[in-house]
Structure 1
Amino acid sequence: MNEECCPLVSNLDYSWLLVYEQRSGVSKFIESYLAWKLPLDKYGLRPDHPFVEDYASCQMAILPDGFFDMADQDMIRFKRASGWCFSEKGVVLDDGTEVEADLVFLATGFEGKDKLRAVLPDPFRGLVQDKSGMMPLYRGTIHPLIPNMAFVGFVESVSNLHTSELRCRWLSGLLGGRFALPSVEAMVRHVQGETAAMQRTTRFYRRHCISTYSIHDSDAMCADLGSRVHRKPNWLAELFAPYNNQDYKEE
């Protein structure tokens, strides 16, 4: 066979394809399970994108007990709309549907980037987000180009309390001299690598979410602090037991 006409595919390409197919298969399985377990189709709540994209961007919702029971009793109603406006009795959706309401909550988020810009001096305001739309934070805490400032609580995961607590301990170790930061160039490359990983996984990458590599992220901070990276009591548990917040309790 003429190699010039048919270039060979490297083993790395095949490995990437295998990982992609496995990830896609697991995502499909979870989607099917959730659709079977929850009345998503009944209420028009099934997303148009795969589950893995929600997981990779920390957009999963945790349902309170009895949520769909209240929906079945008409105590909760779902309406999708791309636009709306206030009316005398509540709101009017873009399709003309009037929704009567005594109280309207605007769940717009906390606009964290805008609030950070407001407290930063002029030279650094333009650095709050990079060309990807994300805020570049090394270890989810240090902006490589903004000196003498740390940001805790800006990174999301499937367990935000654990993520923020571990970053507080990491920051305390940094300030206490237990380790030193890499060069600015090395931190920038590290952040760019995390951004590229998110861009490959989900279209919603503008939120700094570490859910797809949270254990690796926690291990890296433990290594920086000089703590044990393998937190389980034995190798069998390390290989097969799930990690949880208690595994990272301070030693």
Structure 2
Amino acid sequence: MECSAANGLKNPCTVLYRPEQWNVPANLPWGLPLTCLCLNRFSELLVHKPGEGFLLSLLATMLSPPRWTFSKFVESQINKKHRLAKCGMVPKHDFTQQISSCLITTVPEKFYDKVEEGSIILKKSQSFSFCEEGILVDGEPTSTTPLKTDVVILATGFREMKCQWLAELLDGTFKLPSIKEMENDMLEWDEYLKRSPGEHYRRSCIALPIWYNDQLCKDMGWNPKRKKGFFAELFEPYGPLDYVSPSRSN
């Protein structure tokens, strides 16, 4: 968006992507943040998790109709807000498949306005390569003609909670379990990861964020419940600030 604002139509910014994605807006209609629907403990009750036990597994199965309804509602709202059909960007997979792979992405406000005006150009390609003048986009008729480029930004994301866990381990806050316990745990998680959420994704993500971070909190001796009150714990979204080290929050 910054590049398109600076360069305008004269020197448009090109965004390369692989499959079309459900790029979620910051807010749904009525000003409801999407995090209130998919980043709280209630939303994680709708899906199966590794080591969840019989009751949580049964509950996830029973709640499959609301999960499907939620998915279709979110898809319709994203499509409507971003006008994906007009831009040829409607994904071929369900929103639930995408969220189960931890590949939820967002776009800035009015991103697709820039696409429609031509200051941002979308190109679908499985790969690209660098050359002296810029990049070569594979799969295009003009793939032998370089796309002249000044700056390439690799949008690969980042991690934070795992680093905190590693720091606590190296500091001697807790010790690793026995090798046998770790092997059994790895087998359980591996079986979960093999549950592919659909043909467009190779496997499930390591887990939904809160469930996974709960395990890290327990390892470090932290209380995994980071909210105040039953309803806040169940329905308020979780974010990075909820996982501030207890020693730092005092």
TM-score range relative to shorter protein: 0.5 to 0.7
What is the one-letter code of the residue matched to 1:176?
D
Find the counterpart in structure 2 of residue 40 from structure 1.
Answer: 84
Find the counterpart in structure 2 of residue 62 from structure 1.
Answer: 106
Q: For the residues of structure 1 that align with 2:56 and 2:219, how far apart are their CA atoms?
A: 30
1:145-177 deviation per Cα after TM superposition (whole angstroms, max 9, x unaligned): xxxxxxxxxxx8xxx44xx2x322222222233
TM-score (norm 2): 0.60
Poorly superposed stretches of 4+, deviation over 6 Å:
11-14, 83-90, 104-110
Question: What is the count of residue pairs matched by the alignment?
Answer: 189
Alignment counterpart, residue 195 of structure 1, candidates 190, 208, 216: 190
8 Å CA contact retained: 2:128, 2:138: yes
Matches within 5 A, 1:205-244: 205-206=202-203, 209-210=205-206, 212-244=207-239
1:35 positional shift: 1.0
What residue ranges of structure 2 are gaps of 5+ in the alignment?
1-54
8 Å CA contact retained: 2:134, 2:149: no
Name the CA shift for 1:17/1:191 in 2 (closer, same or farther; >3 Å). Answer: same
Q: Does residue 165 of structure 2 align to residue 170 of structure 1?
A: yes
Larger radius of gyration: 1
Name the CA shift for 1:227/1:90 in 2 (closer, same or farther; >3 Å). Answer: closer
Q: For the residues of structure 1 that align with 2:219 and 2:129, how far apart are their CA atoms?
A: 51
Q: For the residues of structure 1 that align with 2:147 and 2:222, how far apart are their CA atoms?
A: 53
Name the CA shift for 1:33/1:188 in 2 (closer, same or farther; >3 Å). Answer: farther
Find the counterpart in structure 2 of residue 101 from structure 1.
Answer: 147
Matches within 5 A, 1:21-170: 21-81=65-125, 94=139, 96=141, 101-103=147-149, 160-161=158-159, 164=160, 166-170=161-165
Q: For the residues of structure 1 that align with 2:155 and 2:239, how far apart are their CA atoms?
A: 27
Name the CA shift for 1:45/1:24 in 2 (closer, same or farther; >3 Å). Answer: same
What is the one-letter code of the residue matched to 1:248?
Y
1:95-152 deviation per Cα after TM superposition (whole angstroms, max 9, x unaligned): 6357773228788888xxxxxxxxxxxxxxxxxxxxxxxxxxxxxxxxxxxxxxxxxx
Task: Specify the SS of the correspondent of 1:242.
Answer: coil
Q: For the residues of structure 2 that align with 1:184 and 1:106, how far apart are their CA atoms?
A: 43
8 Å CA contact retained: 1:83, 1:93: yes
Q: Percent identity?
A: 29
1:71 positional shift: 0.9
1:193 positional shift: 2.5
Find the counterpart in structure 2 of residue 4 from structure 1.
Answer: none
What is the one-letter code of the residue matched to 1:102?
K
TM-score (norm 1): 0.59
Residue range with higher mean Cα deviation, 90-99 or 45-54: 90-99
8 Å CA contact retained: 2:226, 2:243: yes
Q: For the residues of structure 1 that align with 2:240 and 2:56, how far apart are their CA atoms?
A: 34
1:63 positional shift: 0.8
Find the counterpart in structure 1 of residue 241 from structure 2.
Answer: 246
What residue ranges of structure 1 are gaps of 5+ in the alignment?
1-10, 111-155
Name the CA shift for 1:26/1:184 in 2 (closer, same or farther; >3 Å). Answer: farther
Which structure has more RCO (C-alpha within 8 Å, separation ≥ 6)? 2
Q: For the residues of structure 2 that align with 1:235 and 1:12, how far apart are their CA atoms?
A: 18
1:185 positional shift: 2.9
1:217 positional shift: 1.5
